[in-house]
């Protein structure tokens, strides 16, 4: 599975978002990761649709939106309109049937659909959604803030999901750097959200290249 690197916009210099998106693209980023937080599902508020639209217009790579909100299903059309290419929702925000409906709606709008699991939820929780998703996101920190420490006890969860599906993209998010990306790749992850360790690295291109190289060692066809 192809290794994909998705720098988290949350860690960029917000005073120059346009230039930062270009810098990510020129540094070899595959996607841009946009964290939407509502202050209810997580104890932080980030940015919304207009901001994503502006960020998207500055680069030509896909934008991967991570909805850390209680009602993401209300905003699927808005997400499409602001340029989202992929939408991730958390599975604990609604009953299973509503989540499946939301995944259908995301796909109907021509976007990729993904389910995220907070650290406290087991791998098995992803099972009912596997037929409907392009990607499973294993949170490797408690969602809400960038710059936190990677939780290595999430590695078996990655391996368990990879065991369930050989072809779903598995994304990891939180505390990802060269070393932790390699551990996650070994466990079966192939999509890496990198905030602090990309935008705030001394050399973003070098940081992305190194993460791609260390994760790429475990790439399977």
Point out the residues that are catalytic: 35, 173
Task: Select from 30, 27, 75 the least CA-distant residue to 52.
Answer: 75
Residue 147 binds ligand DX5, judged by CB under 6 A: yes
With contacts defined by CB under 6 A, name the span among 69-77, 106-114, 117-125, 174-182 that binds ligand DX5.
174-182
CA distance 102 to 34: 19
Residue 8 binds ligand DX5, judged by CB under 6 A: yes
Question: How many residues comprise the chain?
Answer: 221
Residue 7 binds ligand DX5, judged by CB under 6 A: no
With contacts defined by CB under 5 A, name the span among 44-52, 63-71, 78-86, 92-100 that binds Zn ion.
63-71
Q: Which is nearer to ligand DX5, 64 or 125 (by Cβ)?
A: 64
Which residue of 29, 176, 183, 207 would you call a contact of ligand DX5, by CB under 6 A? 176
Q: Of ligand DX5, Zn ion, none, which one does residue 132 interact with (CB within 5 to 8 Å by kind)?
A: none
Q: Which segments of 86-177 does DSSP mark as H helices, in order?
A: 96-108, 155-164
The sheet with strand 135-139 has its strands ordered as 4-7, 191-194, 169-173, 135-139, 112-117, 86-90, 63-68, 32-37
Residue 10 binds ligand DX5, judged by CB under 6 A: yes
Closest residue to ligand DX5, judged by C-beta, is: 195
Distances (CA, A) of 23 to 9, 35, 36, 59, 204: 11, 18, 21, 9, 8
Q: Which is nearer to Zn ion, 118 or 220 (by Cβ)?
A: 118
Which residue of 28, 62, 146, 188 would you call a contact of ligand DX5, by CB under 6 A? 146
Residue 125 binds Zn ion, judged by CB under 5 A: no
Q: Of ligand DX5, Zn ion, none, which one does residue 63 interact with (CB within 5 to 8 Å by kind)?
A: none
Place of tokens 């998703």: 133
Number of neighbouring beta carbons within 10 Å of residue 47: 17
Backbone angles phi, psi at 140, to 5 degrees: -110, 10
Q: Which of residues 38-67 bind ligand DX5 (CB under 6 A)?
A: 66
Q: Which is nearer to ligand DX5, 184 or 193 (by Cβ)?
A: 193
CA distance 18 to 57: 8
- Contacts (Cβ under 8 Å, ≥6 apart) of 175: 140, 141, 148, 149, 150, 151
Query: Which residues would be at the binding site for ligand DX5 (CB under 6 A)?
Result: 8, 10-11, 33, 35, 66, 141, 143-148, 173-176, 193-197
Query: Which residues would be at the binding site for Zn ion (CB under 5 A)?
Result: 35, 66, 173
């Amino acid at each position: 599975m192809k290794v994909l690197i998705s720098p988290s916009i949350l860690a960029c210099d917000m005073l120059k978002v346009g230039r930062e998106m270009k810098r990510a693209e020129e540094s070899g980023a595959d996607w841009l990761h946009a964290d939407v937080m509502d202050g209810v599902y997580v104890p932080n508020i980030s940015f919304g649709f207009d901001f994503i639209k502006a960020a998207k217009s500055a680069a030509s790579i896909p934008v991967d939106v991570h909805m850390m909100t209680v009602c993401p299903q209300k905003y699927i059309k808005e997400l499409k309109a602001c340029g989202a290419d992929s939408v991730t929702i958390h599975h604990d925000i609604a009953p299973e049937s509503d989540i499946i409906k939301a995944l259908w709606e995301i796909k109907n709008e021509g976007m990729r659909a993904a389910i995220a699991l907070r650290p406290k939820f087991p791998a098995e929780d992803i099972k009912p959604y596997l037929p409907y998703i392009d990607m499973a996101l294993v949170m490797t920190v408690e969602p809400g803030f960038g710059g936190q420490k990677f939780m290595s006890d999430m590695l078996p969860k990655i391996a368990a999901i990879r065991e369930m599906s050989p072809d779903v993209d598995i994304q990891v998010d939180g505390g990802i750097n060269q070393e932790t990306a390699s551990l996650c790749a070994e466990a079966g992850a192939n999509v890496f959200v990198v905030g602090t360790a990309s935008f705030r690295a001394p050399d973003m291109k070098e940081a992305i290249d190194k993460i791609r190289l260390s994760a790429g060692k475990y790439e399977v066809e």
